[in-house]
Chain A
Amino acid sequence: MDFNFTSEQDQLRDTVARLVRQQYDFDTRRKVAKSEAGWRPEMWSQFAELGLLGASFSEEDGGFGGGAIEAMIISEEFGKGLVIEPYLQTVIIGGNFLRHGGTAAQKEEHIAGLVGGETIFAFAYSEPKSRFDLNDVSTTAKKDGAGYTLNGHKAVVIGAPFATHLIVTARTAGGQRDISGISVFVVPKSAKGITTRDYPTVDGLRASEIYFENVSVGVDAVLGKIDGGLPLIEKTVDYAIAALCAEAVGCFKVLNEATITYAKQRKQFGQPIANFQVLQHRMVDMFMAAEQATSMTYMVTLKLDEADKARKLAASGAKVQIGKAGKLISQDAVQIHGGMGMTDELNVGHFFKRVTMIESQFGNTDWHLRRYTELSNS
């Protein structure tokens, strides 16, 4: 057992932290989020040049020899800058689908482009009626000669406007909520029959509603097993949850630091409000929540390659902890900032919104508490 980072990992953190500090200040981020494109492709190229996109791939998969810990470090530092670019969608989700489900040919086709910054993924899984259930899939993929034909509507596909490729979950057999009969496809976004409606999200990202109308794909588009895609989806989503937890931890640290700094400066009743014990104890609770969230993020990151049940328990446990911590920290940060915390001008509100969206991404606190309970009693 070892809880220390290697010196390479420390260096990676320094690199990402410096990048965020120098090129991802709050005003710049706000401008980018409001720009027409909604992101900076040149920033993505820079991530590629710095090796960030390949940092969590093993060398045999075409990366630089790291893994989930590298992903955690990058995600946390990105969280501190509210980074918009689709790292989670492309590297964590796209990358893990390929790592755990891709054939040698699919890895060959996609990983180099991903690491080099040319291939960008978005994960089209949720549907208007599916809420958080990964097995609730109405989009169909019907066998059609040598390939499949996709039809359906995917909802709130984060990062889709930036993507070159979509990873799509579709039903190849069974009923809407059946565990089996789900398959995963990787489809170029430019494929004939795909239409999208792009829009901004409340936390400054971009997303799309995506409609598939008789979209033809070959068998080489299938990631993993036909009809048996759910375990692969669940595993990849657990990797995404771990990275999302790390991103949340980055947000928590910024919120806590901002709150403490503000409380020391802001004077009322002739003294800094940081002198008031009622606020001090709230800030200590925020600090403890962030520390416990950090611990749970380590925990899930270190357990991602354990057997299914242990991994799912870890992911759900972490998501519950992060969800609760996020509510506490983001709400109290706004409260202690007072009226200023309500403004668009201050970064606090922007972190508040991101943390709020993280709580419901890939299952909210209640959903994961239920999954945790069912698993631990099974």
Chain B
Amino acid sequence: MDVQFSPEEIAFRQEVRAFLETGYPAELRGKFSRDEYSKEDFLLWQRTLFARGWGAPAWPKKYGGTGWNATQRYIFQEECARAETLPIPPFGMSMLAPVLMAFASEDQKAHYLPRIIEGKDFWCQGYSEPGAGSDLASLKTKAERVGDHYIINGQKTWTTLGHFADWIFVLCRTDPTAKKPQEGISFILVDIKTPGVEVRPIITMDGGHEVNETWFTDVKVPVANLVGKENEGWTYAKYLLAHERTGIAGVARSKKGIERLREIASVELDQGAPIIRNPDFAKKISELEIDLSALEYTELRTLARESRGEGPGPESSILKIKGTEIQQRITELTLEAVGVYGAPYFRGFPQDGDNQHPIGPDYAHLTAPMYANMRKTSIYGGSNEIQHNIIAKMVLGL
């Protein structure tokens, strides 16, 4: 065991850093911290990475991935967090792609994977339904086989960035007579421009538009869009969720978040002195940072297991639970740090008077919406209570 980076790893870090300094598109700078981005922004960043040969850090080489080892991926993530780049939306890259690689036909792989890595298609996820959240297998959206097509009817919800999407992967019930809810589900790819698909915004309490309802009314999809075997979609769905969890720890971004919190707490005053000098507040930051340090090493241990070929186990649920708790706590403490200027709210509010003084410090504007927004993290991707159930059953054998 050794935490020191080798000279090659240090050189790799410098290479990544240099690329992000010059290669990260100028028009995207600052967008991540301002929490404003468009579909084009994401695709531009993806195309930029692809042009550099880094379009898919976690994919195997034969699909155009970098073939990087776990340490290199870790360094890449750290550097992206440091440079505050836009994240790569996970839906195509790290959710759908592993399923395609494992279960799709050669034709499907050859068609869809390059379009993901080249930044051509934006994907979204059709899993949750109004009546199927944590109990995902109770989903009702149905796909009926008619000749060479499926006819899909139903409603999906919490479709993150569905309003950007070109495609959606949908879990549908193809055998309504199956005995168990987990049986009779299929995994189908749907072009979102197909007639009958309608994406309607859901505005969340932070005022943002991230998620949507997606309605399917007699949507006609070629049978060729079925992934794997009909009625075996649940296996693929679970495979996807296990992969979703490994990237979810967000250690590098959280490190950056704590760094930013410390900066803010060093200038925000509390009883006349920087609030970071308030022992009660400082103690909360310390506890958060110590928790993050533990999570970082838990992730490194998980990566080491993966590099030994052991694959992400159910232990990756720890990364999800702890990672999201920490992300939430960072936004909570940041909001606490800014004090009264957490209140002003500008989202969707026209600011045309460009010679007016800004209200409060820039860093304060989004703290309350971000705090509100991050409550989602312990709910999505299998709620943290569901992750507890997974560990109880799969790891502890309870």
Contacts and interface: CB of A to CB of B under 8 A. Distances in A.
Interface stretch (A98-106, A179-187, A291-299): A291-299
Given A260-B397, A280-B388, A298-B297, A321 B3 contact: no
A255 to B, nearest CB: 13
A321 B303 CA distance: 22
Given A288-B322, A295-B298, A299-B297, A376 B3 contact: no
A334 B13 CA distance: 47
A283 interface: yes
B375 to A, nearest CB: 20
Interface residues on B, range: 35 or more
B395 A287 contact: yes
A264 interface: yes
B389 interface: yes
B398 A3 contact: no
B15 interface: no
Given A274-B398, A292-B298, A321-B294, A302 B388 contact: no
A107 to B, nearest CB: 26
A287 B391 contact: yes
Interface in B297-311: 297-298, 300-301, 303-304, 308
Contact of A1 (B5, B283, B322, B388): B5
Given A1-B71, A264-B398, A317-B293, A69 B1 contact: yes
A342 interface: no
Nearest to A257: B396
B interface, over-half SS: helix
A260 B396 contact: yes
A377 interface: yes
A254 interface: no
A260 B318 contact: no
A299 B300 CA distance: 10
Contacts of B297: 295-296, 298-299
A303 interface: yes
B290 interface: yes
B210 interface: no
Given A4-B1, A284-B396, A296-B294, A291 B279 contact: no
A376 B293 CA distance: 14
A373 B298 contact: no
A377 B282 contact: yes
A interface, over-half SS: helix
Contact of A3 (B304, B388, B396): B304
Nearest to A322: B294
B290 A317 contact: yes
B217 interface: no
Interface string B15-41: 000000000000000000000000000
B287 A320 contact: yes
A283 B304 contact: no
A280 B318 contact: no
Interface in A265-308: 274-275, 277, 280-281, 283-285, 287-288, 291-296, 298-299, 301-303
A223 interface: no
Nearest to B69: A1
A332 to B, nearest CB: 13
Interface of B: 1-6, 9, 71, 74, 276-277, 279, 282-283, 285-287, 289-291, 293-298, 300-301, 303-304, 308, 315, 318, 321-322, 385, 388-389, 391-392, 395-398
27 contacts: A1-B3, A1-B9, A1-B300, A4-B1, A4-B304, A4-B308, A260-B397, A263-B398, A280-B396, A280-B398, A281-B388, A283-B392, A284-B391, A287-B395, A293-B294, A294-B301, A295-B294, A295-B296, A295-B298, A296-B294, A298-B1, A299-B3, A321-B290, A370-B279, A370-B283, A376-B285, A376-B289
Interface of A: 1-5, 69, 260, 263-264, 274-275, 277, 280-281, 283-285, 287-288, 291-296, 298-299, 301-303, 317, 320-321, 369-370, 372-373, 376-377
User: Which 9 residue pairs across A and B have the least CB separation, nearest first?
Assistant: A3-B304, A295-B297, A292-B294, A280-B392, A295-B298, A302-B3, A317-B290, A373-B286, A284-B391
